Amino acid sequence: MATASIKALQSIQAQGRFIRTAQALKAGIHPRTLYQLRDRGTLEQISRGVYRLAEQAPVSDPDLFTVATRIPQGVICLVSALAVHGITTQIPRTVEIALPRGAESPRLDYPPITLHRFSTASFEAGIEVREVDGIPIRVYSPEKTIADCCKFRHQIGMDVFLEALELYKERQRANFASILEYAQICRVGTVIKPYLEMML
């Protein structure tokens, strides 16, 4: 293997689980070297501009992996977040991402994503960081997600919101007061309160 390829692999290993083209360029790796390593099967291209070592264990959720690496400022929300937390039977058709109002829209060919623009207060509330396939993924907490689902109930379906609330209730650490706090931030406190009272 050429010296350039060996140095490139060492840099990629030092980066961790993946490397973006911009990171590779900063590390002195020529794009041609990346393409050669990809064509040899040493590197796997997860999406445009994102590579990982092929010898690593398969990615368990390629869609979330891609979104987290390509849109690190976004937060997984709504049905996608319900799926992460295991409080839905729905299979998300797209990866739903929250961005603050005014943020630049990301360009992503795959996977399909649905963007939601949140106010600053709503965007910043209830963010958790989970590690999936060795990378950090920003996702709203179960409580914030349920409040968001109430706010977007006409888009995602009232049945999805109610099912999530029912499945959440079965958890040992259900915190309805926290859901109400997030609902106030999302301006649906009066809407959600009767449904929370029914769960008590």
Same structural domain, 162 and 79: yes
Residue 106 preceded by cis peptide, ω within 30: no
**Domain membership of residue 21 as a residue range:** 3-53
Same structural domain, 66 and 160: yes
| 49 in Cβ contact with 72 (< 8 Å) | no
* Residue with token string 């600053």: 120
Same structural domain, 46 and 67: no
* CA–CA dist 18, 60 (Å, integer): 14
DSSP, collapsed to helix, strand or coil, labels residue 82 as helix
- Total domains, the chain: 2
Give residues with Cβ within 8 angstroms of 100, minimum separation 6: 117, 118, 119, 120, 123, 124
Same structural domain, 27 and 75: no
Same structural domain, 88 and 158: yes
Res 15: pLDDT: 66
Average pLDDT along the chain, 200 residues, taken 10 residues at a time: 70 71 79 82 76 74 85 95 95 94 84 93 96 86 98 96 95 90 97 91
Same structural domain, 66 and 13: no
Same structural domain, 46 and 66: no
Res 29: pLDDT: 82
Same structural domain, 68 and 26: no
Same structural domain, 14 and 98: no
User: Can you give the CATH number for the domain in which 95 is found?
Assistant: 3.30.460
Res 96: pLDDT: 96
| 102 in Cβ contact with 70 (< 8 Å) | no
